[in-house]
Amino acid sequence: MYDLTGFQRDLLYVIAGLDEPHGLAIKDELEDYYEKEIHHGRLYPNLDTLVEKGLVEKGQRDRRTNYYTLTRRGQREIDARIEWETQYIEH
């Protein structure tokens, strides 16, 4: 996860917290968190990067809608990140 941007890491966390979210659901969650608009040109290329890295799988719900899920590797990366963060913030 060290090679991900903060935005990509946030995408992983949102995908982990939702049940097979589609792109717009992910976008809505991040817009709530960032309190600003997330453009499609930022969202989808970063989702594709996570797919290419094997952290996220992309499925097709219908002809226009894709959904995203974490792979086992993606979940392991999140778990490792949480463990790493915990050593610094829970003392």
Amino acid at 34: Y
Residue carrying structure tokens 């990366």: 77
Q: What stretches of the chain adopt beta strand conformation (E)? A: 56-60, 66-70
Nearest-angstrom CA–CA distance, 79 and 91: 19
Nearest-angstrom CA–CA distance, 13 and 10: 5
pLDDT at residue 1, as a whole number: 79
Encode pLDDT of 13-59 as tens digits.
999 999 999 999 999 999 999 999 999 999 999 999 999 999 999 99
Confidence of residue 91 (pLDDT cuts 50, 70, 90): low
Confidence of residue 90 (pLDDT cuts 50, 70, 90): confident
Name the CATH topology of 6-89.
Arc Repressor Mutant, subunit A (1.10.10)
Structural domain spans, the chain: 6-89
